[in-house]
Amino acid sequence: MSNGPVTPANPASTATTIKPTDLRGILKYVPRFQGQIFVLAIDGSIVADENFGNLLVDVAVLRSLGIKVVLVHGIGHQLVDLSETRKIPISNADGTGVTDTATLDLAIRASSRVSHLILEGLTQNTLKCAITNSVRALPTGILKGVDQQFTGKVDRIDKEFITHLLNADILPIIQPIGYGPDARSLRINSDLLAAEVAESLGASKVIYLTPHPGLEINGEIKRDISVDTLRALLKEHPEQLNELSRSKAMHAIRAIETGVPRVHIVDGRTFDGLINEIFSSEGVGSLIYANDYQQIRKATKRDVRFLYNLTRNAVKREELRHRTQQAIEKNIDQFYVYEIDENIIACVTLYFYPDKPQLAEVGSLYVLPFYHNRGVGRKMVDFASMRAKEKGVTTLVALSTQSYSFFTSVLGFQETEKSVLPDARLKSYEESGRNPKVMIKTL
Ligand SMILES: CC(C)(COP(=O)(O)OP(=O)(O)OC[C@H]1O[C@@H](n2cnc3c(N)ncnc32)[C@H](O)[C@@H]1OP(=O)(O)O)[C@@H](O)C(=O)NCCC(=O)NCCS
């Protein structure tokens, strides 16, 4: 599935090229995508496919539209090939099982080969690129009593390094090999790695380029599906997905839960597949999308202590007004929280003035610094606005001492006089002595 209204090219025809009308359609999307980060996760088998050259032309098109592309590649196909030609058995091909010494050695060779093919292809398209050592990893260790040896999990992505390259118009290439605490190589599954890279960079899309036409559910390709539906399906009817689709689905869910809004699964063997998936109205693969407000829920009494600790630092810096644990507990009904992997990373309050039902106040907006600039703050206020509107509120009020410009320049609030506040609220405003700016927004 896709994002835009461009006439879809016929994916079956290798003669298909982007028509001028399509180009006009694509150009409409330039402002929307410009500066965004797309993480392309390319299966090793796609690098070996004859369409790979065309795929890199698509990558060059994305770059020319101002999209920042990061390539994460797999090596499974090449690893199996090497194992067969050299007659060296491997302990696992995709980085999810045990990696013994021989497998690690072949994986490093396969990885160098695949990265090199990508370097050649990008050079052909006159794109600057660099293979990075940006993945810090930790050994997976012992699982169910079995030592996973040289299999690793991501510890940290060197975001600064990758961002530096992107800002210099250099396309980063990330291999499915990470570097452990002692700088030794560890094999990492590339699908999982792509999700981790996307999370760390705040990417707007992960695009898995696979040798399959998309997410297959009950034998049919699903063009788009919400993450909630997919999660429920995996839990209740995992048998409806084949093994490959299941693995991609799990990584897609993980990427979305950590803040990547859209994950695409595209057949990398299809001519113009990548471009059509992103810019055509029908798309050629599968899109898994986040439900906009899925991570937001009402707070409960069990969250009180956590909310108190979450906002304590902001209170110290006078960004938020002080509330005791008791005060939070008493007003817990006003709180909404944003969760990632069952951890609360942001909160907001919505307070309905009893004496002015057409007004409501949004407050205690706080996002953990690690999650800043990923749209969480905006989403929390949008959510509160939606809830307020549902209750018949016509004007939303926000009070802020230090982040008022977030409300005015980012969220479209306007500064106003404190006299807009109902009497009881004006009284507590005066008593607090914090003198916040008062802003309003018509819903
Ligand atoms: C203010 C805050 C809620 C923003 O949350 P966030 O999740 O980082 O915001 P979003 O990702 O939705 O929006 C990011 C945009 O807001 C801008 N922004 C963030 N804080 C801003 C501020 N204080 N003033 C102006 N713009 C601000 C960013 O530059 C970014 O702009 P861009 O999209 O043009 O790049 C967060 O910084 C925070 O929790 N601050 C500490 C607590 C606080 O001050 N709360 C408000 C009191 S009511």
Q: Is the pLDDT of residue 74 over 70?
A: yes
Q: Which pLDDT band holds residue 18 (cuts at 50, 70, 90)? A: low
> What is the pLDDT at residue 4?
36
Distance from the CA of 32 to the center of ligand 1, in angstroms? 20
> What is the pLDDT at residue 11?
37
| Residue predicted with more confidence, 353 or 3 | 353
The number of angstroms, rounded, from the C-alpha of 184 to the middle of its chain's C-alpha atoms is 28
State if residue 409 touches ligand 1 by the CB under 6 angstroms criterion.
yes
State if residue 313 touches ligand 1 by the CB under 6 angstroms criterion.
no
Q: How far apart are the first and last CA of the chain?
A: 32
The answer to whether 20-289 and 296-442 have equal CATH topology is no
The torsion of the CA quartet 29, 32, 33, 35, rounded to 10 degrees, works out to 140
> What is the pLDDT at residue 154?
95
Domain boundaries of the chain, sorted by first residue: 20-289, 296-442
> What is the pLDDT at residue 315?
85
Considering the four listed CATH numbers 3.40.830.10, 1.10.645.10, 3.40.630.30, 1.20.1090.10, the one that applies to the domain covering 296-442 is 3.40.630.30
Q: What are phi and psi of 380, to 5 degrees?
A: -65, -45
Instruction: Kindly report the protein residue whose alpha carbon is nearest to atom 21 of ligand 1.
Output: 406
Q: Which atom of ligand 1 is nearest to the CA of 380?
A: 12
Q: Is the pLDDT of residue 68 over 80?
A: yes
User: What is the spatial distance between Cα 409 and Cα 400, in angstroms, rounded to a whole number?
Assistant: 13
Distance from the CA of 436 to the center of ligand 1, in angstroms? 16
> What is the pLDDT at residue 362?
96
Q: Which pLDDT band holds residue 6 (cuts at 50, 70, 90)? A: very low
Instruction: Kindly report the protein residue whose alpha carbon is nearest to atom 8 of ligand 1.
Output: 372
> What is the pLDDT at residue 28?
62
Q: Is the pLDDT of residue 35 over 50?
A: yes
The stretch 132-158 carries a mean pLDDT of 95
State if residue 434 touches ligand 1 by the CB under 6 angstroms criterion.
no
3-state SS, residue 95: coil
User: What is the spatial distance between Cα 121 and Cα 60, in angstroms, rounded to a whole number?
Assistant: 10
Contacts of 274 (CB under 8 A, 6+ apart): 40, 55, 58, 59, 62, 207, 209, 266, 268
> What is the pLDDT at residue 351?
95
| This prediction's pTM | 0.61
Structure confidence by residue, pLDDT tens digits, 355-414? 899 999 999 999 998 888 888 999 999 999 988 987 889 999 999 988 899 999 999 999
Q: Which pLDDT band holds residue 3 (cuts at 50, 70, 90)? A: very low
Mean of all residue pLDDT scores within the chain: 89
Sole residue written with tokens 């003035």: 353
Q: What proportion of the chain, given as a percentage, has pLDDT over 90?
A: 67
Torsion sign, CA atoms 309, 292, 70, 168: negative
User: What is the spatial distance between Cα 257 and Cα 236, in angstroms, rounded to a whole number?
Assistant: 19
Q: Confirm if 408 and 414 have CB atoms less than 8 A apart.
A: yes
> What is the pLDDT at residue 142?
94
Distance from the CA of 373 to the center of ligand 1, in angstroms? 7
User: What is the spatial distance between Cα 48 and Cα 268, in angstroms, rounded to a whole number?
Assistant: 11
Q: Is the pLDDT of residue 277 over 90?
A: no
User: What is the spatial distance between Cα 75 and Cα 111, in angstroms, rounded to a whole number?
Assistant: 6
Q: Which atom of ligand 1 is nearest to the CA of 372?
A: 8
State if residue 402 touches ligand 1 by the CB under 6 angstroms criterion.
yes
The stretch 318-323 carries a mean pLDDT of 82
> What is the pLDDT at residue 32?
67
Q: What proportion of the chain, given as a percentage, has pLDDT over 70?
A: 92
Report the relative pairing of strands 146-147 and 205-210 from DSSP bridges: unpaired
> What is the pLDDT at residue 247?
84
Structure confidence by residue, pLDDT tens digits, 233-269? 999 999 999 888 888 899 899 888 878 888 999 999 9
Encoding tokens for residue 336?
Answer: 């909404």
| Residue predicted with more confidence, 287 or 120 | 120
> What is the pLDDT at residue 25?
66
State if residue 400 touches ligand 1 by the CB under 6 angstroms criterion.
yes
Distance from the CA of 353 to the center of ligand 1, in angstroms? 25
Q: Is the pLDDT of residue 137 over 80?
A: yes
| CATH class held by domain 20-289 | alpha beta
Structure confidence by residue, pLDDT tens digits, 37-67? 999 999 999 999 999 999 999 999 999 989 9
Q: Is the pLDDT of residue 121 over 90?
A: yes
Q: Is the pLDDT of residue 156 over 80?
A: yes
The stretch 287-309 carries a mean pLDDT of 87
User: What is the spatial distance between Cα 339 and Cα 342, in angstroms, rounded to a whole number?
Assistant: 5
